[in-house]
Structure 1
């Protein structure tokens, strides 16, 4: 008895933004995906980028890419302010959507995106890569097998430093829904939700603004069962990309959770009363795993709504944190 091999998922990339280079490489590496088309705002830019990244078809408009009936899935690395418009259009064309994070400019847009994908029978996932790494699976096992005891606290940080704010960078542009929380803190919020597996009951945040966007932000999140989490993110502190999940017996520390230092291995530590144990996980490139996971869902025909649900929940928390800073008070969810 033989099993018929499923055809690779045919991908298109909608925009030639910088992060698209990383994802294009991942699609090429993925065993169940083919990168067949890219679109930019001009035919010249699209053709040049397609040649540089070994892509056979280039389109000079985003609409032309979506009209390509041969494509199964679209990766959208546009600025956050454009995510809702083009995700909804892609869904209406029957395309599965991998959308760069943050999922949207706000929660209302995120919900509209999830609704559109559900109504059109297509998968929606945000581009948070670290959750797909084998290390994340190994850490999650420690959270659930009693190693840490009862979970009490999560602490997460993601920062880097700009000595001079770069002109034209969408991270620092209000009109594109820029800001440190959406760009960096989104990862921290996801780590907290990943560990505690539910929304917080209330949050508090304080932020400092420059050029119209939150340049740094620190937040506190309260959860049921007397659990608490804290996060900080910003464009004004040296590179930090770590989290700690602490329980009544021990804690897990990961010092490079957003992007492992090496593509060959990844590490984390368990800190307990008997000392520190380093754990090393062999394993693959996380963005390739993301593409393969997404493509497997498309091939199976069985949509996995948990991916859009956690992305929308991440937006809910981010919006609550920003609202708390504006109101200078605790916000309940």
Structure 2
């Protein structure tokens, strides 16, 4: 069995616990080190999680020659700096979503990783679930006919706004579009395998960030998509993909509500068949997929998975267009976002 890929994590943020556990559970990965700007936090985290090394600065971890790949769960405003610095230190990079604070930064990050021949991927877990592959197979087989419409939503409700949460801090890259809408945009691009020609969006701002967003996206070949996201509506995490012959409905696409993931396939008469997938942990799949790619690059000289980089940058590009549309109260052509 090949040697596992050795991982480090930059930051003890809450999501680092979930992804760190996935690294430790993955068959081809080993969590070697954790870093924090506070050495005591790093030491405590390492002791609790059983991680061999800890560092009191991110640079110290990047200087560790034993580490092959890093996971970056820092606030979006810090992604560009630390992805680029990680690439300069020869590390493959799994970066928490949104990939960056804006499209320009995402492009710079992608360029740095390509320059150093290092893999970059955003941490969108749901695309690595076995359910996602099954739904994709149904679309590719033509069961839905020609795709026409996609609708999606990702929301949750804050009864009281937590002012200390990074989602409410504009300077850290907060807001519902980057936190929640990013998933909806990814679902749309994943299904259509295309970029929209133009977008239009409305926004409600609160606490200095986009608190909810509603968007429309127009594609070639008479295709259209809509989504909404926000911090002021009950938990919703669904999409519907509709074609000329059928539709797929998934009511929890971002993360399965239960251990048994499900979705519904509707035929032309409206009859629905439920599909269920058991025994899949998407965050472990994500780590194993990324680690396998790093192994193949190291040992077999395989090239970068450019589609992983492209879809992350394109998701950020569409989000940028949506932000601009909401700010200007106008339709934005994607060709103008460069």
TM-score class normalised by the smaller sequence = over 0.9
Q: Supply the RMSD in Å over aligned alpha carbons.
A: 0.7
Task: Map residues 107-122 of structure 1 onto 2, 5 A cutoff.
Answer: 107-122=103-118
In the alignment, is the contact (CA less than 8 A) between 1:111 and 1:312 conserved in 2?
yes
* Deviations 1:134-163, CA, capped at 9 Å, x for gaps: 000000011111211110000010000001
Shift of residue 167, structure 1, vs aligned partner: 2.1
Alignment TM-score, normalising by the size of structure 2: 0.96
Q: Matched residue pairs, number?
A: 328
- Whole-Å separation in 2 of the counterparts to 1:296 and 1:28: 15
In the alignment, is the contact (CA less than 8 A) between 1:218 and 1:233 conserved in 2?
yes
The answer to whether structure 1 residue 253 and structure 2 residue 254 are counterparts is no
Gaps of at least 5 residues in structure 2 are none
- Whole-Å separation in 2 of the counterparts to 1:60 and 1:329: 46
SS at match of 1:314: helix
- Whole-Å separation in 2 of the counterparts to 1:182 and 1:61: 26
- Whole-Å separation in 2 of the counterparts to 1:141 and 1:306: 18
- Whole-Å separation in 2 of the counterparts to 1:111 and 1:274: 43
- Whole-Å separation in 2 of the counterparts to 1:130 and 1:111: 23
Match of 2:319 in 1: 318
- Whole-Å separation in 2 of the counterparts to 1:66 and 1:262: 37
SS at match of 1:122: coil
Match of 1:22 in 2: 18
In the alignment, is the contact (CA less than 8 A) between 1:134 and 1:283 conserved in 2?
no
Match of 2:262 in 1: 267
Match of 1:41 in 2: 37
Shift of residue 282, structure 1, vs aligned partner: 2.2
- Whole-Å separation in 2 of the counterparts to 1:145 and 1:99: 32
- Whole-Å separation in 1 of the counterparts to 2:189 and 2:144: 17
Alignment TM-score, normalising by the size of structure 1: 0.98
SS at match of 1:241: strand
Shift of residue 274, structure 1, vs aligned partner: 5.3
Runs of 4+ in 1 over 2 A off after TM superposition: none
